[in-house]
Structure 1
Amino acid sequence: MFGGTGPAASLLVAESWERSRDRGIDPTVVAPSVELEGPDLSRHVAQHRMASVLPVVESVLVPGVVSSGHIVAVADERGRLLRVIGDRGVRSRAESMAFIPGAVWTDEAVGANAPGLALRHDTAVRVRGSEHYLEMAHEWSCAAAPVHDPGSGELIGLIDVTGPSSAASDQMLALIRATVMLAEGELRTAAGLVVPRPTAADRSDGGRLRLRVLGPGAGVLDGDVPGIDGRVLTGRHAEICVLLDAHPEGLTGGALAELLADDRLDEVSVRAEVSRLRRVLGTDVVGSRPYRLAPGALATDVRDVTDALGCGDVMRAVAAYPGPLLPSSDAPGVADLRLEIHSMVRAAVLSADRLPVLRAWVAGAGREDLAAWRGLARSRYADASTVAAAEARCRVLDQRFGA
């Protein structure tokens, strides 16, 4: 499921540096050890569960990343790199610091780095330049996210992008997360797991409230409570609902304030907004200490999209995604979620590479997506009129984006 970036990266990095200093690691001389080589490495990769993730990584993440000076890495649960993909020149530079298949890039072994911290804390992490403990890694930035077994929830590996400063951007982290979600869907399919689509009857209160937060008309409540159906929430109330939905474990007043505004809100103001929201939704819907939504009390169209992606039903995800999350919101937490959700759907569309999915995408939320239009123009299943229309649209977008 979608969510924030976890604990503040700066705190994770600071704690990692302290651990490395306590262990007496010299950042000027330490180098990652290489545990697996040759046939041992090949055998380990072939037998590992992350092997079924590699095709998704290569089709979704690699094409848009390696051409811009980045390398993509997949590692196992012990931080050993299984595959490193990128242009030969970039990989050669990375090899100088032993960023190669078989090498161990844990936090314990080499100090602060995104793969190591992602494994240690089981969360998506970004590490920029000199935040790396190893001096030889200071010219690189990286972002990584863990991959879990969809049946057991066990952490089985990670996906990482390493390169220039853009490797640690919001856009890159969102793309990595989208790839992870698709990879876990592939693992679910390979294991024969069935994830049923939740229905109103599955929810503890019958699903009496539903909030539309995607695309035009976002922020509208539907439900069988008098006075609720069709009610438009204030922008702030819609933001609070979205953030609490994304954090089912709950948020403190301070954490919620930081996600709602760049200039931290006063917690008193947050408390007042939540109090007003309770009067709209009902006192049983929003809990306190920490703030959280009661399980099953509020359904959202975001969940429709992520549930469909989790089931591998890309067409249903596209149909459920009319446009960006709360498009007029500038709340930092909402902006991160907006980018993440859009990236998830887009990555699934481009990975599926199916004519009906591409058509549905470009007819709706993906109408400005040049890569999707190019895919449509190249599709061997498209008729002549579809190809011609797609090629014309590509020319328009090429001119608009200066391609």
Structure 2
Amino acid sequence: MKNASLDLAGLAAMDTAEALRLLKGVRDAALSGRRPKVGPRADIDESWQRMLRRGLDPERDRRAGLLPLEELERRRLASPLLEVLPVLREGLVALAEGAQHIMVVADAEGRLLWREGSAAVLRKGDSHGFVVGADWKEELVGTNGVGTPLVSRRPVQVHSAEHFVSTHHTWTCAGAPITDPRDGRLIGVVDISGPLSTMHPATLALVTSVARLAEAELRNRHHEALDRLRSVASPLLGRLGGRAVAVDANGWPAAVTGMAPPGRLPLPRSVRAGRLWLPSLGLCTFEPLPGGWLVRLDEASPEPAEQGRVVLDLSRPRRPCVTVTGASGSWSHELSPRHAELLYVLARYRDGRSAAELAQDLFEDPSRTVTVRAEMSRLRRHLAQVLAHRPYRFAEEVEVELVLPERPADLLPHSSAPAVRRGRLP
């Protein structure tokens, strides 16, 4: 019988000292391998298990050096988070100051780029190393409101002794990841932190809402940029013969002629003018446009004679990607967590999997075939030439290389899919 789990509302209703004693008891039991009467919350338990597998010291974190000022400024200017910093400030800073919290914004590597809020709490944050330029990856400092959401890709609240490392037990924090809707990349996390007495169960919902507002702002800016590109491209496309599409730098179509509107085109990391091969379209000619590219399908050139090679690289826990190489070139694409899971299973089962089998592999529920088919349909828009269906599989003539992390436990750490959990076993 599974033991009961803690909940944030219950912790908030307790006296601070009582909640701290309870959480320390739960943590001590987990570290010693005992089963407590009340277990940790699911996100916390998953994080603790990752830390135990890594052999992280539960009594002392390992702090990396701060970023040099030049590198900090470079990251700030290059980060998409800069575009939504006003949204984050408006939604959280005033509240943070009033509630004796601070707001921090970190990039996808867990480096703190901005920090604002209560002056008194800022000083307390200094003693925790919670300062601009610091590295708060989970594998470095343990379970926390910055590093843990970056791994799980879910909003997480971490209170007191839910922090894996004991030196952070006087702290409470709630963080939510932020994803760029233009390309699906995880770009960072926004976090609210403060002393134990400032803990409130609604904090996580607030931080999550503000993170979603930031993503909506990025989406609005994207739509405005596509409208500007469309105004330039539409007159040009009207004078062209053949098939062509105008796309932005992330591959999103703004205007099209001679063909059905495609979904987002997966572009090479470094697009250049000239002839390039795309897995979904074949050989194309790229010409620069203000804010994007004109992509003209090469009608006279045949499709590549060979299907080529696929490299599924899962060696970097936060940046799974797939690289497709054909007769006319290669292309790489960073994968979403779900697409990384699906391709991992297909790489393991070269004979293919039915929708029901994939649903079992991912969700432990063979009835969730609608979700599987929808995700596979999205994948096949990008990988139509190397993915087959009925059953879903890599095409027989394609060479597939699966690159795994050095440590099996680091395989897709965000994933709870049964097939991935099996793959983490030594």
- Give TM-score scaled by structure 2 length: 0.43
1 or 2, which has the higher strand percentage?
A: 2
- Select the structure of larger CA radius of gyration: 2
Considering Cα pairs closer than 8 Å and 6+ residues apart, tell me whether 1 or 2 has the greater RCO. Answer: 1
- Give TM-score scaled by structure 1 length: 0.45
